[in-house]
Amino acid sequence: RHGRAARPVRELKGFRRITLGAGETRSVDFELGPGELRYWHPLERDWVIDAAPFDVWVGGDATAALGSTFEITGT
């Protein structure tokens, strides 16, 4: 995805450790707000949020395969 600045392909924005027993399932909720989506833009000298699609991945490590996409249409 493309924004106004070069950024890492994936960034850790939330973390929660849970313990599951064999065969157990559980829901874990995370909120992604402006603080998690913004980044420091050195040329603008300000925090910005790009109007762009964002990919979200969930899993136990950086190779997580469960994901979704949402889009910011205006900032």
Rounded to a whole number of angstroms, the CA Rg of the chain reads 15
Could you give the CA distance from residue 44 to residue 37 in angstroms, rounded to a whole number? Answer: 16
The total of structural domains in the chain comes to 1
What does the pLDDT read at residue 74?
A: 78
Name the token pair of 21: 């027993």
Structural domain harbouring 44: 1-75
- Sequential pLDDT tens for the chain (75 residues): 556 677 888 888 888 889 999 999 999 888 888 899 999 999 999 999 988 899 999 888 888 889 999 999 876
